Amino acid sequence: MDCSALTGVVTAMSAPFDLRLATVQDAPLLARIHREARVAAMPWFPDLHTRDQDQAWMTNVVLPQQQVVIALRDDLPVGFIALTDGWVQHLYVDPASWRTGAGSTLLKHAKQHLPDGFRLWTFQRNAIARAFYRKHGLAEIRMTDGYDNEEKEPDVLLGWKLTS
């Protein structure tokens, strides 16, 4: 996966968003978007980490190990996607920007940079995410009881251009 073409700001086609690569300086912002989106989409979800822990995780794990791209509207960050080979690790949009096309723009980016397909996980009870991914052509591959995730919450593996 090569996202090196995103050296500056790249205008997203057919949506009012620009995309840029995230830097370590974006960690506080990304951690905030991550937390706020999870709370809004899944109010029943356990809060396992503090805000400081979220920021440290973003700084020390996500940004160094994943290709993170931020969606901006009028130069304001509204969401992000984190990619690794064959995986969308994270896709979160600030709740104030839901249903504006930010998530669709980020998912389109993933499809362009992982053209052979990708997988991602979401929680079974996250109806908002499951409907979004279904709308964008992802198929549900497998459900689990959540035994292997930190939250112990039943999840679902989805794929684009993948069936197993």
pLDDT band at 163 (very low <50, low <70, confident <90, very high): low
Report how far apart the first and last C-alpha atoms of the chain are (Å, whole number).
Answer: 20
Q: What is the CATH number of domain 10-115?
A: 3.40.630.30
pTM: 0.88
- Tens of pLDDT, residue by residue over 83-139, are 999 999 999 999 999 999 999 999 999 999 999 999 999 999 999 999 999 999 999
What are the DSSP calls for 100-131, one per residue? Answer: TTHHHHHHHHHHHHSTT-EEEEEETT-HHHHH
Half-sphere exposure of 139 (CA within 13 A, CB side): 7
Domain boundaries along the sequence of the chain:
10-115
Nearest to 28 by CA among 52, 50, 62: 52
The pLDDT of residue 19 is above 80: yes
- Tens of pLDDT, residue by residue over 127-137, are 999 999 999 99
